[in-house]
Amino acid sequence: MNDAKQAAIVRTEIGLTIAGKDITLYDVMDYLQDDYLPQMIVDLLRLTESEMNAALSYIEDNREAVEAEYEMLWKEAEEIRLDWEKRDPDLLVKIAKMPPPPGKEAAWKRLQGLKVHNKINMHDAKPAAIVRTERGLSINGKRITLYDLMDYVKAEYSPKFIRNILNLTESEINVALSYIENNRSEVEAEYEMVLKYAEEIRQYWEERNRDRLAAIAKMPPPPGKEAAWKKLQEFKARNKAELESQS
């Protein structure tokens, strides 16, 4: 992803914005507050490296002003939400079709983003609990196990980041992390067993498909797909070289 020109931060009707894009510094702040890494934000918001660097530099150099605007927009967005909720209990169904109140364009865009990312009105329908299912220790009502959480816990991700990645409620992440903390040896033992079993499955299929993969590698490209085939082979060779250099 090459930068066509040097990125800049400009002020538009929706606030401090990355020039040429409909993405504000407040969008970037959402992810920074949730402990996302810069490269992940680049991928999620489809920014160039230059745009991301410009956004981070501006935030760092003007942190007090940016955070003040960010908090103000959160407050205004919540005020709009409460106002419309009083008028219409089916707010979230109809909100996408509503025009922004005059002079509230930035807060309105903020509210749309919060709705999309489930950052508002995410109330727990019932108390969260840890139950044992056929998949093992799981969050009640979800196909998410404590072993899924352990992947992120082991990588030292923050609770807020894990909650957003796995789309959990505050109650669910708290109950899950408490269970792990209070039953660490049990959960660790099961987690290691799950990892071992997954590795055994991987090795089984790798061995079973070894001859087939070797035969596929020797196949000629499909007619008319020579360029794409060549690109695929180059990608595989590069990937293999990277893996070998890491081992």
For the chain, helix, strand, coil in percent to 5 are 65, 5, 30
Check whether 227 has a pLDDT greater than 90. no
The CA distance from 175 to 171, in Å, is 6
138 & 84 share domain: no
Q: How confident is the model at residue 15 (pLDDT cuts 50, 70, 90)?
A: confident
Rounded CA-CA distance 46/82 in Å is 32
Give yes or no: residues 17 and 30 share one domain. Answer: yes
User: Has residue 97 got a pLDDT over 90?
Assistant: no
Query: Residue 2 — pLDDT band, cuts 50, 70, 90?
Result: very low
- Tell me which of 134 and 26 has the higher pLDDT: 26
Which positions ≥6 away from 194 have C-beta within 8 Å? 136, 147
| SS3 state of residue 247 | coil
Taking the model in full, what pTM does it have? 0.43
The number of distinct structural domains making up the chain is 3
- Please identify which residue in the block is written with the tokens 């903020």: 110
**79 and 167 part of one domain:** no
In a domain, 125, yes or no: no
β-strand partners of 18: 9
Look at residue 9 in the predicted model and tell me its pLDDT.
94
Same domain, 146 and 207: no
Tell me if 122 is assigned to some domain. no
- The candidate with the shortest Cα–Cα distance to 153, out of 103, 191, 111, is 191
